[in-house]
Amino acid sequence: MSHASHITLSRYLIEKQREKQLIPADLRLLIEVVARSCVHIAVTIGKGALGGALGEAGSENIQGEAQKKLDVISNEILLDANEWGGHLAAMASEEMPLPRLIPHRYPQGEYLLLFDPLDGSSNIDVNASIGTIFSVLKCPDGVDMSSEAAAEQAFLQPGTAQVAAGYAIYGPTTLLALTVGDGVALFTLDRESGAFVLTQEKLTIPAETSEFAVNMSNQRHWEAPVQRYVAELLQGREGVRGRDFNMRWVAAMVADVHRILIRGGVFMYPQDARTREKGGKLRLMYEANPMAWLIEQAGGAASTGRARILDLAPAKLHQRVPVILGAKHEVERLVSYHAKPDE
């Protein structure tokens, strides 16, 4: 790609703002600050053991999960970078029980930023792909932002209310996927300049696929519709599907979703007998919703099996949901099995 054709993230956002008024100046600033935070996180991860950032932090998050040092460091990078710009009213993170308000010494903005600062933490110490997932909402007028506890209410909006969503994936290259409601664009980090450069636009997911992603070790706990669907995939060409299927499971949602955006597929993290009480494994507000919007913007579908993820009315900031997303026809088939569980 010639340098002349390099369209950086900044230019892409300015052109979107200019041609389609899709990205007001404050939202453009917010996205650029998040992107720069992801570069900082990528550099920190890249140092590995040499940066002293591997291993456990010795603390737990609200989910009761042991935090890795990089979970905490990534969270701090995003908080520090975003609190002073004047574009945010508050931030929420997988790593914090309550939202973080913008300190009074800084101007308050109109947006809410949610993030999973480091998704796929169990992959860190084995040098597998990990990522950062983010979602942007507008802060409703007239909400009580007088305390962190009160501010939770402002975040409880359906995924359809998102104004921007994306992820960074820290793999062999560092990539940023972004949607502001006009398709999905992909940017590659130019490590020499530190800029994200547009390398793909209008990503699309084929409605059909022969590749699925699920953690098979949970199979005995799944509900009947998922048992039936996956059993049919495993039967291959001798079964009702009439073709063989391949399986991939990176155990980092960002990496599995990225693969689906690039070459298609279907991803499942169903709720099961063990997680039904909690609602599932993946978190709605900063994992399922941003990923569901990206997938739908690329022509795919995203469901709990019983409802469109983006339509869900959140009750809690850290609420969990079952997730089925990717190739439209596969999601539709699995949703139909949920509608006819006794077949």
Residues that bind ligand AFP (CB under 6 A): 65, 119-122, 215, 251-253, 269, 281-282
If the CB atoms of residues 14 and 66 are measured against ligand AFP, the closer one turns out to be 66
| Minimum distance, C-beta of residue 23 to ligand AFP, in the bound complex (Å) | 28
If the CB atoms of residues 226 and 253 are measured against ligand AFP, the closer one turns out to be 253
| Minimum distance, C-beta of residue 127 to ligand AFP, in the bound complex (Å) | 14
| Minimum distance, C-beta of residue 98 to ligand AFP, in the bound complex (Å) | 20
| Minimum distance, C-beta of residue 58 to ligand AFP, in the bound complex (Å) | 16
Cα distances (angstroms) measured from residue 66 to each of 58, 91, 95, 127, 273: 7, 22, 10, 18, 23
If the CB atoms of residues 195 and 282 are measured against ligand AFP, the closer one turns out to be 282
If the CB atoms of residues 197 and 331 are measured against ligand AFP, the closer one turns out to be 331
| Minimum distance, C-beta of residue 297 to ligand AFP, in the bound complex (Å) | 20
| Minimum distance, C-beta of residue 294 to ligand AFP, in the bound complex (Å) | 14
If the CB atoms of residues 156 and 169 are measured against ligand AFP, the closer one turns out to be 169
If the CB atoms of residues 50 and 126 are measured against ligand AFP, the closer one turns out to be 126
CA atoms of 124 and 69, how far apart (whole Å): 10
Q: Which residue is nearest to ligand AFP (CB)?
A: 253
From the CB of residue 180, how many other CB atoms can be counted at a distance below 10 Å?
A: 25
Q: What is the Cα gyration radius of the chain?
A: 20
306 is written with which tokens?
Answer: 């019983």
